[in-house]
Amino acid sequence: MKTIHTKAKHTEWLSAEDMHDASKIWISELSFFKEEQLFLEDLIKSYTLNLIDNNHFEESKKVIDKLSIVVKNTQVLLNAVNSHENGLSIMVDGIDQLEEEATYRKEHRNLIELIGEFKKRYQKIKMRLFTLIKLVMKESKQKRLLK
């Protein structure tokens, strides 16, 4: 028997305060990711010679290319969340604009999904990078011990 998986759409009520709090958390997380990415880039620079070694070149190139895409996506998401946060006024202005408010809520739900997927991809890339750096460090240490 084959199981069919469907994506459930949750249509819970999102208050303006809840959306504001979520946006602030996203901004904080994305800002942290930007700082973390600077650290990762420095780490890559520190081990560049080892990473471009014939044994690791292909994997290094793949991981570094994916990391550069993530760096760009982080800034795009940060801009989108900041814009979304600035548009929150439509929810609290006291004027009934049902269509605009519904659009804002839909945008918020889309951001929930986008940021969730982004975090998963980012974690995978970080794990691949750390595994690669760890391997390079071990090999470098072994070479020094053998000399």
pLDDT for the residue 75: 96
pLDDT for the residue 15: 85
Domain boundaries, the chain: 16-146
For tokens 């979520």, the residue is 22
pLDDT for the residue 10: 52
Distant-in-sequence, close-in-space partners of 52: CB < 8 Å, separation ≥ 6 = 60
Segment-wise mean pLDDT, segments of 10 residues, the chain, 147 residues: 45 78 96 96 91 86 94 96 90 80 91 96 96 91 73
Q: What is the dihedral of CA 98, 99, 105, 107, to 10 degrees?
A: -160
Residue from 43, 50, 111, 110 nearest 78 by CA: 111
pLDDT for the residue 21: 93
Contact 23, 81 (CB under 8 A): yes
For the chain, what percentages of helix, strand and coil (3-state, to nearest 5) are there?
80, 0, 20
